[in-house]
A = this chain, B = another copy of it.
Amino acid sequence: MARSATSTRERIVSAANKLFYGDGIRGVSLDAVAAKAGVTKRTLYYHFRSKDDLVAAYLAGRDQPNLALFRKWFEEADGALPAKVEQIFRNLARSARHPKWKGCGFLRTSAELANMPGHPAIKIGAAHKKKFDAWLREVFEQAGIADASQLSRQILLLLDGSFAVVLLHRDPSYMETAGEAARSLVDGALRGRVARR
């Protein structure tokens, strides 16, 4: 058969991405994924050993694009460091207003599979957040902030908190509140740096 422009495997992961993110892991059958990918279920099982395998591939596919987007938002923002951090939250609030937005796929998966702590998908989610944390910490270190590690963790707590809260209340303004809190914390850390000279 003629090979399509996108590989079969890619089409399956793309279909899984839309369905799993939209309806959750246990809410989506592999019949549905196969149908959306235009493939029989048996073909799906040729490319992936199990549903858990496909779930892991779904999250692995979101890792890099997500990180790149956050970095882009930060780099394109104007102003000093606190304002640049806040801008990430502003952009997030804008994307959360999209009707298909349903929170953070990594966090939602870890919530749904909380009874399987060692699940590959959860490890991928944890690694994703660690990468974001490491990037933020480096940004803070280069700005001369003393406890950059603590600050980056606090910003991440606000970020993930806003995912959870906005998903619950369906009110993206919480992300702006989180952004203001983040700005306060970064501001405070910068003042600490100056005072300590």
Chain A interfacial positions (CB closer than 8 Å to B): 22-24, 26-27, 102-103, 106-108, 110-115, 117, 122, 125-126, 129, 150, 153-154, 156-165, 167-170, 174, 177-178, 180-181, 184-185, 188
Which of B22, B153, B159, B181 is in CB contact (< 8 Å) with A174? B153
B169 touches A126 (CB 8 A): yes
- Rounded to whole angstroms, the CA-CA distance of A89 and B122 in the bound complex is 24
Question: Distance in Å from the Cβ of A77 to the closest Cβ of chain B?
Answer: 20
A24 touches B115 (CB 8 A): yes
Question: Distance in Å from the Cβ of A137 to the closest Cβ of chain B?
Answer: 13
- Rounded to whole angstroms, the CA-CA distance of A160 and B158 in the bound complex is 9
- Rounded to whole angstroms, the CA-CA distance of A169 and B160 in the bound complex is 12
Output the residue of A112, A160, A163, A178 with the most chain B CB within 10 A.
A160
**Which 8 interchain pairs have the tightest Cβ spacing?**
A161-B161, A157-B161, A111-B111, A26-B26, A154-B181, A108-B111, A102-B114, A110-B168
B27 touches A129 (CB 8 A): no
- Rounded to whole angstroms, the CA-CA distance of A158 and B98 in the bound complex is 24
Which of B103, B111, B157, B184 is in CB contact (< 8 Å) with A177? B157
With A111-B112, A184-B188 already in contact, the answer to whether A170 and B24 are too (CB < 8 A) is no
- Rounded to whole angstroms, the CA-CA distance of A78 and B129 in the bound complex is 34
- A27 / chain B contacts, CB cutoff of 8 Å: 26, 112, 115
A154 touches B168 (CB 8 A): no
- Rounded to whole angstroms, the CA-CA distance of A126 and B161 in the bound complex is 14
Output the residue of A24, A108, A122, A168 with the most chain B CB within 10 A.
A168
Which of B129, B163, B177, B180 is in CB contact (< 8 Å) with A169? B129
Q: List, sorted by A's number, 16 A–B pairs whose CB atoms are closer than 8 Å.
A: A27-B115, A106-B168, A107-B164, A108-B111, A108-B112, A110-B164, A112-B112, A153-B174, A154-B158, A157-B161, A157-B177, A157-B178, A158-B158, A163-B164, A181-B181, A181-B185
